[in-house]
């Protein structure tokens, strides 16, 4: 039984014994740092059931708990708050119980069900960029957190490999590429294809300008530019199965997939299965027909099919065009149903998509619910804010995006420059240094993005993210490396967790605070899973690291002469290191043994 459950039980018991009432709920919270205590019972909500002065009630309950609950060593009352001091023996017993658990904080019971998490889902006309990074890092981390909380997770993406934007890159390559390949150009395939997407936009703008100069209206020129008309014709050829067009499409997409795979590998993320828009874009049309028969959808005089969601506070939404072609909503309906059919054990799906699509997913989930799919209540849009740069918004067509590969390489270079300036890696050979720069740089990037609540926008500052002080990935990594240095210097016998520690030790205040932080890890994992928020894990880890550094500065570890105290402090230090590594693994971040 955890401490909060134990205290809740005894507070209700106290209410029954002292006041003759049954308390339906008990409000407990961590004691504020500026007061003495560990857990605070908030008395005010009890006044609906227990009449009297809140301070007097607090003292009565405090006396009862101190007398009847061995875990409660003392108490104090400040206004309507009963601050309980938990005994040192409780913390030592609890530490003894968890220190050998290498999976501490992670669910170890039967599976709590299955969920599918979609993230990345890029277009195959350009390389992955900074905006994709937030999406990918969020989706991957949420997947790992859900697994730690007991879920079976299927990590997936739908690759947007068709459409006019793909044809733009294909057409530009045909016109300007002269047979160029990733091998002949010496660059990754996704970058090569992205270059031709930019080349199309440049040629298109030039043609529009020439048409306007010739007297055509701007709006007409933008629709009639010859290169755009050619791209639209190429799309029609692709949809009709023209062999030459399909072969070029397969070739150029193949270049992109190889490029993506390299980026995903460097990023340290993976997927369990992939879906392709070229396979799924027609899905949903049959579902729309069934929905028409059920009265969920209705047909307008022009033949287009719609759903009226005005009674639900939304708008009317088209699900099939007048010419019978599908829209994105049609495809998404079909894809969701296909995934549920492929994995009937799945109880929910998480869509990692930017907040500009908030309305789209409200509509999608509501349509699926109206179509009668019970699992529609378990769909979740992991909505996140955009990533901004000091220079402004990125634009793929104009080639002003921050390429993901370039950014990761730049982060490693930044980590190298700062590490060399600090002069901490003199004992490393060059290969070890380069690997460490990569770990630090990538850790800095991931942490900077994941520590922010997903719903908030981020202004990304690469140099700030690699700071070795403050709420940064390198600060946490450096503390982990410091802990490993302490463990290496300790007597190996002292680090053996199977050695039981005596519960008679008197804890230093810094030891108590560190233990309290350590024991919050399982609860933090559960909360992060429920809220789909890696930020909770990141900021928990930062708080734990700050607490450890304060402990390290004020309490002697290896210099302690008392054998029992020294063994406890060494083992506590080792466990803190384990939890830091576990927490960072949920963020997809490595921790170096030395720095």
Model pLDDT for residues 276-324, shown as the tens digit of each residue: 999 998 889 999 999 999 999 999 999 999 999 999 999 999 999 998 8
Q: pLDDT tens digits for 6-41?
A: 999 999 999 999 999 999 999 999 999 899 999 999
**Confidence band (pLDDT; 50, 70, 90) for 400?**
low
CATH number corresponding to 404-586: 1.10.730.10
Q: How many helices (H) and strands (E) does the chain have?
A: 22, 14
Per DSSP, 84 falls in state E
Structural domain spans, the chain: 3-86, 163-267, 404-586
pTM higher than 0.75 for the full model?
Answer: yes
Q: Which fold has domain 3-86?
A: Gyrase A; domain 2 (3.30.1360)
Q: What angle do CA 56, 61, 66 make, to 5 degrees?
A: 125
Confidence of residue 341 (pLDDT cuts 50, 70, 90): very high
Note the helical H segments in 423-520. 430-450, 462-465, 473-489, 509-519
DSSP-derived secondary structure for 92-141 = HHHHHHHTT-TTTTS--SS---EEEEE----BTTS--BHHHHHHHHHHHH
Q: Which residue has the higher pLDDT, 135 or 426?
A: 135
CA distance 270 to 282: 27
pLDDT tens digits, residue range 118-131? 999 999 999 998 88
Mean pLDDT, rounded, of the chain = 93
Query: Distance between CA atoms of 125 and 164, rounded to whole angstroms?
Result: 10
Measure the CA–CA gap between 382 and 204, rounded to whole angstroms.
35
Single out the residue of 441, 449, 477 nearest to residue 584, CA to CA.
Answer: 477
Q: Which of 155, 269, 141 minimizes the C-alpha distance to 536?
A: 141
The string of DSSP codes covering 279-320 is: HHTTTTHHHHHHHHHHTSSEE-TTS-EEEE-GGGTS-EEEEE
């Amino acid at each position: 039984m955890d401490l909060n459950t134990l205290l809740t039980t005894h507070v209700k018991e106290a209410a029954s014994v002292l006041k003759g009432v049954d308390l339906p709920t008990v409000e407990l919270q961590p004691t504020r740092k500026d007061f003495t205590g560990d857990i605070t019972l908030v008395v005010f909500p009890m006044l609906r059931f227990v009449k009297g002065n809140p301070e007097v009630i607090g003292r009565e309950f405090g006396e009862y708990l101190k007398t009847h609950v061995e875990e409660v060593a003392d108490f104090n009352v400040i206004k309507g708050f009963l601050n309980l001091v938990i005994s040192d023996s409780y913390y030592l017993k609890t530490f003894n119980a968890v220190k050998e658990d290498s999976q501490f904080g992670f669910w170890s019971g039967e599976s709590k069900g299955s969920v599918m998490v979609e993230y990345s889902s890029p277009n195959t006309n350009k390389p992955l960029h900074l905006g994709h990074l937030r999406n990918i890092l969020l989706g991957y981390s949420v997947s790992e957190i859900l697994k730690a909380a007991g879920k079976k997770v299927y990590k997936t993406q739908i690759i947007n490999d068709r459409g006019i934007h793909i044809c733009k890159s294909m057409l530009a390559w045909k016109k300007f590429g002269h047979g160029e390949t990733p091998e002949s150009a010496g660059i990754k395939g996704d970058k090569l294809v992205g270059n031709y997407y930019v080349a199309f936009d440049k040629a298109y703008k030039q043609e529009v300008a020439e048409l306007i100069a010739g007297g055509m209206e701007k709006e007409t020129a933008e629709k009639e530019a010859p290169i755009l008309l050619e791209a639209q014709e190429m799309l029609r050829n692709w949809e009709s199965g023209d062999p030459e067009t399909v072969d070029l499409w397969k070739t150029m997409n193949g270049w992109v997939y190889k490029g993506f795979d390299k980026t995903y590998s460097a990023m340290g993320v993976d997927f369990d299965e992939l879906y392709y828009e070229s396979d799924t874009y027609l899905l949903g049309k049959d579902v729309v027909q069934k929905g028409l028969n059920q009265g969920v959808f209705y047909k307008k005089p022009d033949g287009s099919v719609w759903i009226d969601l005005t009674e639900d506070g939304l708008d009317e939404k088209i699900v099939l065009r007048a010419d019978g072609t599908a829209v994105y909503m049609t495809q998404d309906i079909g894809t969701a149903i296909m995934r549920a059919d492929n994995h009937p054990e799945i109880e929910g799906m998480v869509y990692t998509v930017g907040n500009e699509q908030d309305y789209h997913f409200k509509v999608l989930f509501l349509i699926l619910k109206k179509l009668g799919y019970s699992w529609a209540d378990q769909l979740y849009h992991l909505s996140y804010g955009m990533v901004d740069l000091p220079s402004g918004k990125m634009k793929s067509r104009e080639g002003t995006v921050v390429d993901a590969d370039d950014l990761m390489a730049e982060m490693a270079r930044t980590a190298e420059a700062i590490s060399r300036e600090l002069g901490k890696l003199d004992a490393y050979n060059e290969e070890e240094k380069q690997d460490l720069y990569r770990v630090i740089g990538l850790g800095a990037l991931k942490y900077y993005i994941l520590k922010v609540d997903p719903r908030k926008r981020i202004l990304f500052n690469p140099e700030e993210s690699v700071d070795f002080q403050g709420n940064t990935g390198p600060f946490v990594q450096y503390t982990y490396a410091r802990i490993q240095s302490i463990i290496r210097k300790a007597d190996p016998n002292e680090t053996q967790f199977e050695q039981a520690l005596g519960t008679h030790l008197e804890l230093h205040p810094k030891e108590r605070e560190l233990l309290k932080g350590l024991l919050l890890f399982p609860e933090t994992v559960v909360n992060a899973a429920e809220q789909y928020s890696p930020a909770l894990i990141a900021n928990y880890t930062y708080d734990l690291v700050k607490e450890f550094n304060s402990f390290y500065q004020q309490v002697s570890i290896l210099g302690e002469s008392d054998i029992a105290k020294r063994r406890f402090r060494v083992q506590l230090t080792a466990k803190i290191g384990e939890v830091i590594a576990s927490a960072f693994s949920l963020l997809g971040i490595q921790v170096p043994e030395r720095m």
